[in-house]
Amino acid sequence: MSERILVAVAWPYANGSLHLGQIAGAYLPADIFARYHRIKGNEVLMVSGSDQHGTPITIKAEQEGKKPSEIAARYHQEFLEAWEKLGISFDLFTTTGTANHAEVTQDIFLTLKKNGYIYKDTVTQPFCPQCQRCLPDRYIEGTCPYCNASGARGDQCDECGKPINSIELIEPHCRICGTTPVFKDSEHFFLKLTAFNDRLLDWVKKKTHWRPNVLNFSTRYLEEGLKDRAITRDIGWGIPVPVAGYEAKRIYVWFEAVIGYLSATKEWAKSSGDAEKWRSFWQGDGVKSYYFIGKDNIPFHTLIWPAMLMGYGGLNLPYDVPANEFLTIEGKKLSTSHNWAVWLPDYLSRYDPDPLRYLLSINMPETSDTDFSWREFFRRNNNELVATYGNLVNRVLTFVYRNFNGCVPEHGELDTSVVKDVEHHLDVASDWLSKCEFRQAIMRAMLLAQETNRYLDGKSPWKAIKEDRQSAANSLYTALSIISQLKTMLYPFLPFSSQKVHEFLGFEGDIEDYGWQWQHLPPGQRLLEPKPLFTKLDEKLAEEETQRLGQAYS
Ligand SMILES: [Zn+2]
Ligand SMILES: [Zn+2]
C-alpha cells in the first residue's frame, strides 16, 4: 500500500551562499528520504523556500546600498541553481516573499488571535543610541542567562541552544558598534506558548521514534516551561501585521518562516490545478510529515510550530523531526563570518555532485557532530567511490560489452550461492532509510559492492573465459545483476551515477520509474557503451583546498 509523505525542509536565509553544513544538516538527508519514498512508489511532496525576511538580509542590503528584495532575489536564484546541480529534488522551492505566504501567515495570525492565543503587551526593546536604531535580536549580543556562555544573541544562545528574549541577556551590547543599548517600550503581539506547555509535553513524550537528542532536548525544555514570545517587531521589512494601528510593525520572522511549510504546500496545490490538494498532506491519518532541520532549529519545530498548529486546529503535527547535529570543517566549528566554510557554489564549480553526496551521506552527522576534511573527501572519492563501486561497475560492464557483443550474456545464470542475500540487502537498506538512518543504508550498499568485488576476484571471469565461457558468463551475469541491484540501493544517495548505471545496463527512461526492487536483467538486453562512473582526484589538491579555508571569500 502506498504511503503519503510530506518532506518539509528548513528555509535558508537568502542573505548568503549555501555551505556544506546546511547540506549535511538538512538538504541532503531530506533529498535522500524523498527520493527513497518516490522510487518506492509513495506519494511525496518536498517543499521549502528562501527565507527573505530576516534582519541579516536588511543589514546586508544596507551594506551594499541595495533593497532587501534585491539581495533576497539574488540568493534565491543561486539556491535554485545549487539544488539543480546537486540534485536536491524539491517539488517546490518558493520564497517567503509571495502574496500567498503573506495571506496564509496572516490567516494563522488572526485565527490564533481569535482563539485567544495571541495577545497584546508592552515589550522593552533594545535601542542603540550610537547607531540610532532598534536592534534586531541578532544584532544584540551578551552573556547567556542560562549557561553563562558569552556571545549569545538576542534570540538564541548557540552554546546551549535555548531561545532567549534580548532583555534577558547579561551585559548586552550592540553587535555593530559595541555600545550598551538602552531599552525602550513598544506595544507588540505575543504568542501564548505557556498555554500549550502541558499538551506539548504529553505529545512529545509519545514520540519515542524521535532521535534521542531531539526527544531529550524537547522534553527538557518543556519540563522547564515555555515562555510567551513576542511575534511582532518594529521593523519595515517583513509581513504586515493585519491589525489597524500596527502599520509600522511587521510579523517577526521566526513566527512566519515555519508557516512556510504550509503556505508552500498551498502554493504547490494551486499551481497543480487542484487548490484543495494541500489538504491531503496536512489533514487526516493518511500522511506523515517529516521536518529536516539542523539541531539549532529543534525548538522551533518540536515546540513552537506544533503549538501554533494546536492553536490553529485541524492540521497535522509533525510526525518526525530528524534533526542532524553539526558538521565541523577540518576539526573546527564552521563559521560563515570567518569564511571557515566550504561554499556549495564553489564546490560545484569544480567537482561533481555525487562524490559530495557520497561523503556527506556516509559521514552524516545523524547522532553526533562529524567532520568534513578535504583529505577525507579525496580519499573516500578515490578509495571507495572509484576503487570499490566505480571499479566494480566499470570492469564488469567493459568486459561484458567487449566479450559478449555489447549485450547481457545470453546464457548467463545467476550464481545462487551469491545472490541469495541480495534481496535481503535491499530490505535492510529499506528499513534503515525509512527510519532516516542514512549512514547505515549507504554502508550496506557499499558492503554489497565490496562483496561483489571479492566474488569476482575469486571467479576471475577475465581468465576463465578462455577455458570455460559458460562459467565466465555466469559469474559476469551474476555481477551485472548485483550492479542492477546496487543502482537502486544507491539511487537516493547518488542519483546521477545511478541513472548512468541504469542506462549502461540497457534500461530506458528514468530509474525512479522502475521502483525499489531488484530489476532482473533480460539475457540479450543491449548494453550502452560504458564510461567511467567517477573521476579519480589528485590527492595533492586536498592540500590546496584546505589552504583556501579561512581566506577572504569574494
Ligand atoms: Zn546558553
Ligand atoms: Zn550600535
DSSP result, 250-283: EE-HHHHHTTHHHHHHHHHHHHHT-GGGGHHHHS
- Residue 119 has a pLDDT of 97
Distance of CA 177 from the midpoint of ligand 2 (Å) = 4
- CA 166–ligand 1 middle distance (angstroms): 13
Ion ligand 1 nearby residues (CB, 5 A): 144, 146-147, 149, 157, 159-160
User: How many angstroms is it from 147 CA to the middle of ligand 1?
Assistant: 4
Helix axes 260-272, 99-114, angle to 10 degrees: 130
> What is the distance in A from the centroid of ligand 2 to the CA of 246?
26
**CB–CB of 89/82 below 8 Å?**
no
Return the ligand number nearest the Cα of 172: 2
Distance (Å, whole) CA 405 – CA 418: 25
Of the bound ligands, which one is closest to the alpha carbon of residue 148?
1
Decide: residue 509, CB within 10 A, 0-12 exposed, 13-18 middle, 19+ buried.
exposed
Cell numbers that stand for 427 in this block: 530490505
Ligand nearest to C-alpha 134: 2
Q: 3-state DSSP helix/strand/coil percent for the chain, to nearest 5?
A: 50, 15, 35
End-to-end CA distance of the chain: 51
How does pLDDT run across 238-274, given as a tens digit for each residue? 999 999 999 989 999 999 999 999 999 999 999 999 9
What confidence tens digit (pLDDT) does each residue in 310-368 have?
999 999 999 999 999 999 999 999 998 889 999 999 999 999 999 999 999 999 999 99
| Ligand of minimum distance to the alpha carbon of 174 | 2
SS3 8: strand
**Apex 218 CA angle, 7 and 285, nearest 5:** 40
Ligand 1 centroid distance, CA of 467 (Å): 72
User: Which ligand places an atom closest to the C-alpha of 129?
Assistant: 2
CA dist list (Å): 321 to 295, 317, 487: 10, 11, 28
Predicted TM-score of the model (pTM): 0.93
Comparing 447 with 337, the larger pLDDT belongs to 447
> For 383, which DSSP code?
I
Q: Which ligand is nearest to the CA of 168?
A: 1
Ligand having the closest approach to the CA of 142? 1
Q: How far is the CA of 70 from the centre of ligand 2 (A)?
A: 25
Question: Average pLDDT of 291-320?
Answer: 97
Is residue 44 within 8 Å of 1, Cβ to Cβ?
A: no
- Ligand closest to Cα of 176 equals 2
CA of 283 to the centre of ligand 1 (A): 37
Angle between helices 438-459 and 28-39 in degrees, nearest 10 = 70
pLDDT digits (tens, 9 = 90+) for 93-143: 999 999 999 999 999 999 999 999 999 999 888 999 998 888 888 889 999
Instruction: Starting from the CA of residue 170, give the closest ligand.
Output: 1
* Three state DSSP letters for 82-102: HHHHHCCCCCEEEECCCHHHH
- Alpha carbon of 134 to ligand 2 centroid (Å): 9
